Amino acid sequence: MDVYEKVTTLGQAAALDCEGPPALTRAERKAQFIDQSRVYVTHPQRGKIPVLRTMQTSACERNCYYCPFQAGRDYRRVSFKPEELAATFDQMQRKRLVEGLFLSSGIVGGGVKAMDPMLDTVEILRRKYEYHGYIHLKIMPGAESAQIERAARLADRLSINLEGANEQRLLALAPKKDFWQELLPPLYWVRQNQHHLGPWVRPPSITTQFVVGPAGESDRELLATAHMLYREANLARAYYSPFNPIRGTVLENLPKTPLMREHRLYQADWLLRFYGFAVHELPFDEQGHLPLNLDPKLTWAKTHLSQRPTEINRASRAELLRIPGIGPKTTEAILAARRVGTLSNLQQLKQLGVQTGRAAPFILLNGKQTEYQLPLTGF
């Protein structure tokens, strides 16, 4: 298998969203493999950058029920040696085809053994090829502390995917993984051991991912676990991956998770991260799910602000953030404008960036409610 086919095959496997590459000629593979193996991520300084997303190997001994390359499934197994993958990435980034690397792997021989070639690949990139750009490295379940420390010194971002919202939900997805021993401890490692890295090492950011739907978890379970990790482990971000059944896997007959559920989870997650909400304030139904027909902030506002609208000219930062149509940047703009004068009409708010159609039902300007038309739905 040539390098183009390896990159394509392992890039698709990393995405967990297909059953393998189509049959292509060598020329077609050369033309298409880049677009099929790179994704765009948001870099804190450079904005969106193209990143090669690939795997060290698609061979795996685990039996994660949702995964296309679970053990025993008829799936093409491909592997990169560390030097081979490092050289391939070096060529791609020198040609400016990609500006970063996201590396994961299947597991053969345990998580410790699976981590070594990944770490070697990144070490070669950093030392031999003197690559100083963005690297996102996935930590394998069961990785040793010394491996996590080495990864923290080499990578800009580390991900440890919980997959399930808790131990019970993980058992329904990946019965060979241990929630408490293999997955949670690495999420806390950087915060608890930053002193081992030294003051000259910038600690990597930490992320996790949940598989949404097939384990029967509620939105409340997912968001409660994410919120705990935001507070306790300095988690940078949680990702909510909607389940998509794959033929030949254990969960092939379960329904696909609606994309609107994923959308609502991300909206609620932002309320926890940037808007000062607590999990118990989110508008869950009796089963612990968010409503699909309205965004959670608008749902909360209809319950709490419809009868007690917020006075824009006196509201605190926290109160302004609770108003639909007003975000963190707009809140700062309102606070700055109030230091100059009084805000008295919707046009002034619109010029500050407020989505006035969403905000109007829930605000007062100089003690007066503005004219508005309440939207029937909200996204």
pLDDT digits (tens, 9 = 90+) for 91-138: 999 999 999 999 999 999 999 999 999 999 999 999 999 999 999 999
pLDDT of 28 > 50? The answer is no
pLDDT of 336 > 80? The answer is yes
Decide: helix, strand or coil at residue 248. Answer: coil
Measured between alpha carbons, how far is 317 from 329 in angstroms, rounded to an integer?
11
Measured between alpha carbons, how far is 171 from 130 in angstroms, rounded to an integer?
42
Strand partners, 138: 159
Of the candidates 209, 328, 242, the one whose C-alpha atom is nearest the C-alpha of residue 277 is 328
- Stretch (H or E) spanning 41: strand 38-43
The pLDDT tens digits for 258-317 are 999 999 999 999 999 999 999 999 999 999 999 999 999 999 999 999 999 999 999 999
pLDDT of 221 > 50? The answer is yes
Mean pLDDT of the chain: 90
pTM for the structure as a whole? 0.89
Measured between alpha carbons, how far is 322 from 181 in angstroms, rounded to an integer?
38
The mean pLDDT of 68-86, rounded to a whole number, is 84
Residues 268 and 227: beta-carbon distance below 8 Å: no
- Who wins on pLDDT, 157 or 6? 157
Residues 24 and 9: beta-carbon distance below 8 Å: no
Count CB neighbours of 259 within 10 A.
9
Show me where the domains of the chain are located.
Answer: 3-250, 296-369
Amino acid letter, residue 156: D
The pLDDT tens digits for 232-255 are 999 999 999 999 998 888 999 999
* Residues 6 or more apart whose Cβ sits within 8 Å of residue 293: 377
List strands edge to edge, sheet with 157-159: 38-43, 47-55, 100-104, 134-138, 157-159, 205-212, 237-242
CATH class entry, domain 3-250:
alpha beta
